[in-house]
Structures are given as C-alpha cells and as structure tokens.
Chain A
Amino acid sequence: MRHILHVPALVVFTIIFSSCSPKEAPELTVYCYDSFSAEWGAGPKLAPLFENSSGVKVKFVSKGDGGQLLSALIMEKAVPVADVVVGLDNQLAPKAFAAGILEAYRVKSLDGAPSWLRFDPSGRLTPFDYGQFAIIWDSKKLANPPASLEDLTKGIYAKKLILMDPRTSTPGLGFLAWTKLVYGEGWKDYWKRLTPSILAMTPNWDTGYGLFTAGEAPLVLSYATSPAYHLENDKTDRYRALGFPEGHPVQIEAAGIVKGTKHRHNAELFMDFLLSKAAQAELPLTQYMYPANSAAALPASFSLALKPGKTLVIDPAGLMDDARTAAEIVAAK
C-alpha cells in the first residue's frame, strides 16, 4: 500500500514547484463574472487587443456571477483591489450607486447611443452590451408557439414553460418585471393564470436552459440572442426567439471605474477601449449579446437573434418584494 501513497505526494510536489514561477504584476485589474473571464469568453480575446493598442497589461479576475461581483466590490470598498468592473447591469445599478463604489467617466464613443441604453447619464456605469429577455421556442418539439405573454397561459402550453425563480435569478426577475410592465397591477392575476403552464422554476439561468436543451420543455425564458449561439456553434436553427408585440424588457450590462483606483488613467484607457469598434466586435460571439456601440459589425448568426423591437425599461423599485409574492402565488396553486 505504501507505493500508492507515494504517487499523490509526488504529484503534489510537482504541482507546487511548477506553480511557483513568478508572475508579472498587472497594470490594470478588471473584476468580471465567470463566463466573461472564461477561456472562451470575452476577457481572453480583449486582453491582447488592449495590450497591443495601449501597452497596458490587463488581468481579468472572476468573482462568480453578477451578484457576487457587486458584493465583492462592496466588501473591498475601503481597500479596492479592482480598477475596473465589467458585468454589473441595470438591475444591480441602484445598489451599486447607493454603495458609492464607482467613479464617473464619460466614454465619448457612446454619445450618440439611445437614452434608454445610457441608463446612467452621469457615467458611473457605462453600458457595453445589452440583450432583451425573450421566450425561446424549440421548433422541433412544439408546432404552434405562443405569440404573446397572454398566450403562455393557454391550456395547450400546460407544463411546457421553464422559468427562472425571480427570488434567485436575474432573468427570473426580468420576467417578473416584464409582467409588471405589461399588466400593471394585474400582474398577480397573470401569474395565477400562468402557473399551470410552468413546468419548473429553476434557481438560475444555467439550470433552466440546461433543462430546455435536454428537451424537457419546448419553451424557456432566456435572451433574444440565444438562438444565435446555437446557429454559430451547433449549426442548428431549431431554437427560435419569440417576438411578443407587448415588447421585451432589456438587460443592459455595464462597466465602470472602481472608486479609489490607483490606475485611473489606465482605467480610462480601458473604458474607451471596451466601447471601441474593435473590442465591441468581439462581444457578439463571446457574450451573445448586442454590442452597445452600434458601429460594431454583427456576425451572420445574429440574423437569428430577435431584432430589438419595442424595448421596455425595467423599474427595479419594489421588484424584490414582488419576487417573493410571485413565488407564493405559484406555490399556492
């Protein structure tokens, strides 16, 4: 048995020694969420581009998801580690502003953007991409897709819809906001009517979309740009985003300079770079969102993404309490 124990010991030492090579200190630290810094994400594509154009070395550090990103920044407020944050959004914005963790900066290339996109005119958060929430339809599993939010409540869609829990996920909260924007005070009645159609309410987008691609239900809440991913990577057009005449709420992802940064100049360079045509052109196929800078070229697969039509602006006030009410309505069925 002794020789078995030698193997792990050897492996440990090899790893410890091989990981000791000195690393260069970055000149700019950017906090982001997981899928942004992943090898296939936008981070690794942007880093060399930025280094070439500005000569500044940038390091992307993932802090988990958007919510964890914000809480990390709040925790580190006294001694900030990051210079720039990438990946907060319009739903998290009020909390970020209240915490006072950002420094304002105006990125000029965004001056011509529509006002709904530049949701913070003072420039503490600068939008870099956006996507609308939409119901995605598996055209191989269901013949007649719904054409509106109201259609979703019809008996033929019983147990055919996968939603995300508004208490624990951003898209779930987005869907709740959507029903509030469309139905006003009547949103609670809508949720009562909708309940029979819901197969599962998953804690996060990942699980819900995983269930959907496993063929569990033909309708799922996701982004209007989701079909572009499948066309680009799986070469399939079976998944379609359903455009509803009521309009679609928009999630705007934003970046900002962290208050107290010691690299303010480099941070400004990065913000300008992030909104430049070159950087923005990398976003569609890594983020699967629309670039904020409309001058950036879109890949062919985005022909399958729902064209941004009527855009609904989410009002985050009271949304958290309503999330609990919505869950209770669904549970009371």
Chain B
Amino acid sequence: MKPSPPKGDHGARAGASIALALVVLLAAAPLSAALFFVSKDGKLGEILGQTLVSPATLRALGFGLKQAGLSSLFALALGLPGAWFVARFDFPGKRFFRALAAVPFCVPPILVVLAFVLFYGRGGFANAFLMRLFSLSNPPLRFLYSLEGLVLVHGFYNFPVVLETVGSVWARLPRDREEAAKTLGAGPCRAFRTGTLPSLWPSIVQATSLVFLFCFFSFIVVLVFGPLGGTTLEVEIYRAARFDADPATASALALIETATAIAIVLLLQIGRSRNNAVMRNAGLAVPAEKPKGRSLFFLILFALCILVFFIGPLLSLVIQAFMVRRGMAGTWHFGIGNFGRLLGGSDCLLLQAILDSLASALPAALISTALGTVIALFIRRAKAGSIVEAALSLPLAVSAVVTALGWSFLMPGGNPFLVSLVLAVSALPFALRGVASSLATLEKNPPLAARTMGAGRIRAAFEIELPAIAPAVLSSAAFSFSIAVGDASIPLLLGRGDFQPLPLLIYRLVASYRFPEACAAGLVLALLGGFVFFLKDRGNGRP
C-alpha cells in the first residue's frame, strides 16, 4: 500500500494557513496603518505617485540599493570562506567564530559605530599604532567616513550571518558528489561548482537576502559613515514621521520601502526555488578534519584577517566597557566601575534588564522556533510550499522604523502581552528558513519509506526528520533569541513603562552621556546572544 501523495495533505494546508494568518496579522499590521494614513483623504494614488517621483525619494532609493548591494557582496566575500572553514575543519576557536553570528543582532548599531571608530577612527587604536610604528604625524587610515568605510563596516558587521547560515548547511553536505566530480577529472573549482554549490545555493541566497535587507534598512551606520548628507529611505521615513509630522508622506515612503524589500525577497526566493530541485542528496553530518598544508595556511590568513579587522573593533568595545575615566586630565583607567554603577543601587539596573530581556526573548524564541519548525515540515509536504514561504518572509521586508511607526499608530498605549508575540513574528522568517534549508538537504524518501513501513506522518516527523534537523532547529532558536533579545523598538513601543530590556537600557545610557556604561551593558547583551550559540553548538557536537 502506498501512502497518499503529499500534495493533497490537508493538515499541511491548515498549518500553513494558520501561520500565514498570524504573520499577516502581526507583520502586516504596521503596513495597514501606513495604508490607512495614505488613503485617509482618498488620495492614495496621488500621494504615492508624488512621493515616488520626488528626486529625494529616488536618490534615497538609489543610494540605499547601491550601498546595500556592495555591502552584501563584501559580506559574502568574507562569509563564504569562513563557512567553508567552520564546515570542513576542526580548529580551536571554531565555536567562537560561529557565536559571532549573534553580533549583528545583539550589538546595537550605535555601539557598532563606536567600536569601529575606536579601532579605525582618527584617534583609534589602528591609527595610533601605525603612527607610532612609522612615526607619522597624521593618521594614515582615513577611509572610514566614505562609501568604502560604510561598506567595510556593514560587511564586517554582517558577515557572521553568512558564515553561520551557509556553514551550518555546508557541514552537513556529504562530499561524495564533489569527490565524484574530481574522480571524473574536474578541477577543484569545477568540482565545487557542480558538486557543492547547488546544495549550498539556498543557504547562500538566504544569507545574502538577509544581509542585503539589514544593510538596506541600516540607519545610524549609513548616516555616520556614509557620504556626508547621504540619505536612505529609512532616513526619509524617519524625517517625515518625526520632524515633518507628516504621517501621509511617511506612510507612502514606508510602503515604497516595503514594496522594494518584498521585491528583493521575492527575486531571491525565485532564484532559490529554481535550485531547490537540484539538491536532494545529503546524509549525516560529515566529520570535520584537522586543517593541513594549504588549507591550514588559508585558515590562519582568514582568522588573522577577521581578528584584526573585526575582533579588533569588538575588542575595543570590550576595553571601553572596562575603562573608567578619572582625574582632571580625563585619562582612562582599567576597572569594573561601569559594571559596578549598573549593578549598584537598590534597583539593580543591569540584573533587572537581563531578566526583562529573558522574559521577552525566551518566549519569543520558543514560539518562533516551534512555529518555524512546524511550518517547515508542513511546507515540505505541501506542494505550494515556496509561495507560503515567500509570504512568510514578509516580516523581513518591514524595517524597524516602519514597524515602530505602524505600532505607534495602531497601539499608542502599548500592549505588554504583544511584546513576545511580535518579536516572535519578526524572528519567524529566520527560524523558518534555517529549518527549511536543512530539511531541503534531506532526502524526501526516508520519511516516505518509514510511512510505507507503517509509521504515521507525525511519527515519521518525530523519529526521522526532527533528529536529522535538530542542529538547524537549535540554530534557528539561537537566531530567534538573538533577534528578539537585540530589539529595542518593540519593547519600547509595546512594553509597560517599567519594562526595560538590555537594548532599551543601552539606548537610555547613551542618551545620558553614559557611553562606557552603555558599552558594559552592550557587552552583557552580546554575551547573552552569543551564549545561546554556544549552547546550540553543544547540542550540535553530539553524535
């Protein structure tokens, strides 16, 4: 007896519809607010048209696409070699490399700006070192405040996303195809192209689209490091909403920005599903080996590059967290005073913030991972999967400023019960894609075989698919947690007045001259996000 084909699976349809409804309800809510404001006076087309053809909008759109494109290319160039190293080799510090994936989510942009300035800036460590080394009177590194500087900062800030997303799939690809190609006489490049690349493609597309959207929505980094007076749609929305008090224009811009982002997500989705068909050939994780010879050389080179250019700035931030400024000369001293000031007092600011962060981010991570896993399993069985998956990418296409704008329209008084749910929805695309990429490398047949042998659909999922994708599920949970724990705008807009997770605490500290204390709190936030990746890798390491 053959099991019924997955096409007509009603359960799959129902599950996907429920998830879709939830996402549309919560992710599209801010957009509906935007639509309301544009169409309030019945001039939807007019306002949208006017905004779209204004030179400022076009310039903002053009520059946004350009800098995001260059930044994602750079992040790919850094992330792909990294993914290869963590997938294929065992080396000390590998878990640390993978835990860096928490950085783009958990280090608030303002601290990233400070980190790069402390390292590459005119008075930064790198320039001070070079000036002393070559006895120069002027700082030699002056690229920071330019398009090159912007691309560099974005690239280093976001490459861990590529490394982790692609690396976790790569680690599970068997090498027989690549070996087979080599046996047939293909060079290593051709072997990679025909044997490995097709299976990696979905995760590469996924990582690229994420990084592209992050850079497209970037706000503080673009204005600080980009060309003077530069602008992006995110800046224009913010300006129209908050400084012009012009919700109609802000909403029109928000709709244009979101439409662009959706188009990008869809384009990449199409590229992805074309390649989905190619790769149904994978098995258990391939054991990693010790790097030798040429690969060892390149690994060291890569590690050095990352250490100097990325860990350097982050380390500057850590050092800043332990620096206390004392004395009339305003010189710096090492100490734990910044942490002391945050921990002291009856209300124990830092501990309360950690508890608030956990209280909102843990439920959010659990909800989004559970939903993401169930949907991914359903999509695998339903044929209309890629459309549903594209629709579920909607939260990705809604930027932080648009989300903030929308929720402040919709729920001016806030709603603490929504905090975790909205955070979960914003993390859902990450959770879903992480699990789906991993499922895509599984043979469709084993569950089918199990079901032929009499196992129910649910049992097949629990006994065969879930164990195989467990690392990806844990990885998705870690991603979701990082996203939820690093978000400042949702807790601010929807939380109670006294609800203050770490990102909010950091924003409040930097708004009150307290940068070293903000760095201290930022370190705690990054450790919290990174720690989850360590936990996940522990689960990964088990046979």
Are A and B interaction partners?
yes
A residues whose Cβ falls under 8 Å from a Cβ of B: 1, 4, 8-9, 11-12, 15-16, 19, 34-35, 37-41, 59-62, 64-65, 67-68, 70-72, 74-76, 81, 95, 140-141, 159, 165, 167-168, 173, 195, 198-207, 209-211, 213-217, 226, 229-230, 233-239, 288, 320, 323-324, 326-333
Contact, CB under 8 Å: A215 / B123: yes
| B279 at the A interface (CB under 8 A) | no
Check if A61 sits within 8 Å of B497, measured CB to CB.
yes
Task: Assess whether A211 is in contact with B228, with CB atoms less than 8 Å apart.
Answer: no
Knowing A168-B235, A213-B515, the reply to whether A203 touches B220 (Cβ < 8 A) is yes
CA distance A217 to B223 in the complex (A): 17
Q: What are 21 A-B pairs at a CB distance below 8 A? A: A1-B542, A8-B358, A9-B366, A15-B359, A19-B359, A38-B512, A67-B242, A68-B242, A71-B245, A71-B408, A75-B412, A167-B235, A167-B239, A200-B145, A209-B515, A216-B122, A216-B124, A217-B122, A236-B330, A238-B330, A320-B244
B292 within 8 A of A: no
Interface check B329, CB cutoff 8 A: yes
- For the complex, is B510 an interface residue (Cβ under 8 Å from A)? yes
Q: Does B326 sit at the interface, judged by CB under 8 A?
A: yes
Contacts of A15 in B (CB 8 A): 355, 358-359
Residue of chain A at shortest CB distance from B223: A203
Give the complex CA separation of A332 and B513 in angstroms.
32
The verdict on A229 contacting B513 (CB below 8 Å), with A201-B229, A210-B114, A331-B229 known, is: yes
Given A168-B243, A236-B325, A238-B329, also A214-B229 (CB < 8 A): no
Contact of A329 among B229, B242, B513 (CB under 8 A): B229
Determine the chain A residues whose CB is within 8 A of the CB of B245 once the complex forms: 70-71, 74, 95
Cα distance A60–B118 when bound, in Å?
35
Return B357 CB to nearest CB of chain A, in Å. 10
The answer, yes or no, to whether B47 is at the interface (CB within 8 Å) is no
A200 neighbours in B (Cβ, 8 Å): 145, 224-225, 228
Is A168 a contact of B512 with CB atoms below 8 Å? no
Chain A nearest Cβ from B102, distance in angstroms: 16
Give a binary string over B508-536; 1 marks a CB under 8 Å from any A CB, 0 the rest: 11111111000000000000000000010
Contact between A173 and B113, CB atoms less than 8 A apart? no
Q: Which residues of B contact A333 (CB under 8 A)?
A: 228
Known A64-B492, A211-B117, A327-B231; further 19 A-B contacts with Cβ < 8 A: A4-B539, A12-B358, A12-B359, A15-B359, A35-B508, A62-B497, A71-B245, A75-B412, A76-B412, A76-B413, A81-B413, A173-B243, A203-B219, A213-B515, A214-B123, A214-B320, A216-B124, A323-B243, A329-B229
**Measured between C-beta atoms, what is the minimum distance from A59 to chain B in Å?**
7
Q: Compute how far the CA of A70 lies from the CA of B114 in the bound complex, rounded to whole angstroms.
A: 29
Q: Which of B497, B504, B538, B539 contacts A60 (CB 8 A)?
A: B497
Cβ distance B533 to chain A, nearest Cβ, rounded Å: 13
Contacting residue for A38 out of B118, B493, B508, B542, CB 8 A = B508
- Assess whether A72 is in contact with B408, with CB atoms less than 8 Å apart: yes
Q: In whole angstroms, what is the CA distance A231 to B171 when docked?
A: 55
Contact with A along B374-412 (1 / 0, CB 8 A): 000000000000000000000000000000000011001
Complex: A332 Cα to B230 Cα, angstroms: 10
* A233 in contact with B118 (CB, 8 Å): no
Whether, in the assembled complex, B362 has its beta carbon less than 8 Å from a beta carbon of chain A, the answer is: yes
- The one of B123, B223, B242, B513 that contacts A71, using a Cβ cutoff of 8 Å: B242
Q: Is B328 an interface residue (CB 8 A)?
A: yes
Assuming A38-B512, A203-B219, A211-B114, is B497 touching A59 (CB within 8 A)?
A: yes
Q: Cβ of B363 < 8 Å from any Cβ of A?
A: yes
Q: How far is the CB of A168 from chain B (nearest CB, A)?
A: 6
B227 at the interface (CB under 8 A from A): yes
> Do B511 and A195 touch (CB < 8 A)?
no
**Which residues of A are found within 8 Å of B510, using beta-carbon distances?**
206-207, 210
Q: Tell me, rounded to whole Å, the shortest Cβ–Cβ distance linking B213 to chain A.
A: 19
Q: Which of B240-289 contact A (CB under 8 A)?
A: 241-245
Q: Determine if B330 and A234 form an interchain contact, defined as CB atoms under 8 angstroms apart.
A: yes
B470 at interface by CB-CB < 8 Å: yes
Given A71-B408, A141-B123, A206-B510, decide whether A330 and B223 contact each other with a Cβ distance below 8 A. no
Query: A19-B359, A35-B511, A215-B123 known; A202 and B224 CB under 8 Å?
Result: yes
Inter-chain contacts of A195 with B (CB < 8 A): 228
Q: A4-B535, A165-B223, A203-B223 are in contact. Are A140 and B330 (CB under 8 A)?
A: yes
Residues of A near B497 (CB, < 8 A) are 37, 59-62
Q: How far is the CB of A240 from chain B (nearest CB, A)?
A: 11
CB-CB nearest in chain A for B236: A167
The residues in B between 108 and 124 inclusive whose CB is less than 8 angstroms from any CB of A are 110, 113-114, 117-118, 121-124
Contact A34:B507 (CB < 8 A) given known A211-B113, A239-B330:
yes
B238 interface hit (Cβ, 8 Å): yes
The answer to whether the Cβ of B349 comes within 8 Å of any Cβ in the partner chain is yes
How many Å lie between the Cα of A215 and that of B128 in the bound state?
12
A207, B220: Cβ atoms closer than 8 Å: yes
Point out the residues of chain B lying under 8 angstroms from A64, CB to CB.
492-493
B56 at the interface (CB under 8 A from A): yes
Q: Which A residues are in CB contact (< 8 Å) with B41?
A: none
B327 at interface by CB-CB < 8 Å: yes
Closest to B512 in A: A35
Q: Is the CB of B408 within 8 A of A237?
A: no
Q: Do residues A331 and B513 form an inter-chain contact, with CB atoms below 8 A?
A: no
User: Known contacts A206-B510, A216-B117, A238-B329: does B219 contact A8 (CB below 8 Å)?
Assistant: no
- Give complex CA distance A237, B331 in Å: 11
- Complex CA–CA separation, A213 to B332 (angstroms): 12
Q: List B contacts of A37 (CB < 8 A).
A: 497
Q: Are B347 and A39 in contact (CB under 8 A)?
A: yes
Task: Give Cα distance in the complex from A70 to B220, angstroms.
Answer: 22
Whether B229 lies near A330 (C-beta < 8 A) is yes
> Residue B5 at the A interface, CB < 8 A?
no
Task: Name the CB-closest residue of B to A37.
Answer: B497
The answer to whether A328 touches B329, judged by C-beta atoms less than 8 angstroms apart, is: no
- Quick check: is B185 within 8 A (CB to CB) of the other chain? no
